[in-house]
């Protein structure tokens, strides 16, 4: 299969490289976010050799390729470079409402899926080996591989901070700092000590909720959404000559109390509420069956 040729045909069929806002892929699909969906000729793409189907879901053009999609993606990147499109001509994002929300969510989670899938499969493999008696759960090999399989989930706020920062167009490294501070060992120790001694934690005189955020999702997404506006505002205010160090500092100074005092606790509550609703719905479905 000539992947470079297919990538060229797809680019032409979606309206050219200038119409591609973002490109990524999952296990079987090339996922394109376009500036103008009307320029994409889905029927034409569907007839290309190597394409198994085309769907548009959540404002995202999904081209089904199969297990060879990484090869097509690599060929696609020879023609499309995200950094080159960041400062392209002004194009209005016409996605609204639920479509835009789904586009944001998919754009944030899809890059992280391979790491989560690989880690999940590693944990499943360890379970099979342990049940089969081929590895001891007390061995150092098992312990190391087990924490490796947990790593992506424990540090999920950091990974999501990076992918969310790209979606919200903020500095990815400052974003990862904000994600990492939620699971910093010192903060976790402070929370555990406060819970044990029945004390409180305060930041600038404001109460900090005694919660841990490892493996959490909603808190960091809210933080990244807020950061996108704060970073934009700070960048406009700070003189260009000082932006390289002053903007990141001010963003951290503002985002730290905002995240610990407001956004992270609200996000944890929302996440817990959603989880409870899903659990309740599952129980109803099981009982109804």
Catalytic residue (one of 26, 122, 188, 261): 26
- Verify whether residue 276 is a known catalytic residue: no
Q: How far is CA 162 from CA 20, 103, 172, 209, 281, in A?
A: 21, 16, 5, 24, 32
In 10 A of CB 41, how many CB atoms? 14
Q: How far is 161 from 168, CA to CA, in rounded Å?
A: 10
Please classify residue 201 by burial: count the beta carbons closer than 10 Å to its beta carbon, then call 0-12 exposed, 13-18 middle and 19+ buried: middle
Please classify residue 273 by burial: count the beta carbons closer than 10 Å to its beta carbon, then call 0-12 exposed, 13-18 middle and 19+ buried: exposed
Q: Dihedral (C-alpha) 153, 157, 162, 163: value to the nearest 10 degrees? A: 70
The residues annotated with a catalytic role in the active site are 26
């Amino acid at each position: 299969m000539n992947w470079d040729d297919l990538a060229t045909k797809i680019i032409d069929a979606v309206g050219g490289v200038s119409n591609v806002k973002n490109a990524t892929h999952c296990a079987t699909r090339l996922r394109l976010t376009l500036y103008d969906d009307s320029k994409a000729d889905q029927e034409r793409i569907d007839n290309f050799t190597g394409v198994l189907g085309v769907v548009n879901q959540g404002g995202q053009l999904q081209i089904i390729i199969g297990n060879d999609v990484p090869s097509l993606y690599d060929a696609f990147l020879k023609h499309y470079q995200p950094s080159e499109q960041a400062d392209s001509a002004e194009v209005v994002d016409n996605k609204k409402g639920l479509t835009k929300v789904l586009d944001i969510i998919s754009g944030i989670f899809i890059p992280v899926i391979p790491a989560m899938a690989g880690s999940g499969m590693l944990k499943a493999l360890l379970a099979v080996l342990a049940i089969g008696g081929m590895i001891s759960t007390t061995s150092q090999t098992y312990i190391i591989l087990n924490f490796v399989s947990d790593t992506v989930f424990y540090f999920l706020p950091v990974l999501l901070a990076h992918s969310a920062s790209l979606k919200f167009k903020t500095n990815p490294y400052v974003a990862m700092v904000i994600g990492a501070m939620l699971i910093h060992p010192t903060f976790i120790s402070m929370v555990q000590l406060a819970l044990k001694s029945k004390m409180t934690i305060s930041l600038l005189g404001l109460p900090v909720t005694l919660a841990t955020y490892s493996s959490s999702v909603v808190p960091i997404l809210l933080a990244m959404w807020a950061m996108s506006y704060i970073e934009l505002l700070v960048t406009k205010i700070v003189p260009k000559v000082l932006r390289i160090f002053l903007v990141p500092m001010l963003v951290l100074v503002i985002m730290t109390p905002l995240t610990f005092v407001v956004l992270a606790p609200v996000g944890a509550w929302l996440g817990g509420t959603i989880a409870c609703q899903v659990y309740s719905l599952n129980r109803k479905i099981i009982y109804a069956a």
